[in-house]
């Protein structure tokens, strides 16, 4: 088990890694937002193609905007 006093340092390490590796950061954001959106769309939509497309577009747009805004604020 991880000591809870080490967690802030571990999060800082992950944050620093993601700042250095923008492609990895973009991919993580794409997956974390796109997959749930796709699953929600699959639950409410009759078309799996529409669900996959909307999840992919949502994840890509969210990840791209997040990374670009983050880069501009540095």
Instruction: Tell me the pLDDT band of 24, cut-offs 50, 70 and 90.
Output: very high
What SS3 class is residue 62?
helix
High-pLDDT (> 70) share of the chain, %: 95
Q: pTM for the whole thing? A: 0.80
pLDDT tens string 32-58: 999 999 999 999 988 899 999 999 999
- 1 pLDDT more than 60: no
Neighbours of 37 (CB within 10 A): 17
| Per-residue tokens: 56 | 């992919």
pLDDT the model gives residue 35: 96
Taking the CA atoms of residue 14, residue 15, residue 19 and residue 21 in that order, the dihedral angle to the nearest 10 degrees is 20
Distance between CA 16 and CA 61 in Å, rounded? 23
Residue 40 makes CB contacts below 8 A (sequence gap 6+) with none
């Amino acid at each position: 088990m991880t000591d809870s006093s080490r967690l802030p340092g571990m999060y800082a390490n992950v944050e620093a890694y993601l700042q250095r590796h923008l492609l990895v950061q973009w991919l993580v954001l794409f997956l974390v937002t796109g997959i749930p959106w796709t699953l929600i769309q699959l639950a409410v939509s009759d078309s799996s193609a529409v669900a996959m497309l909307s999840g992919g577009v949502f994840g890509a747009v969210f990840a791209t905007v997040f990374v670009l805004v983050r880069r501009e604020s540095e």
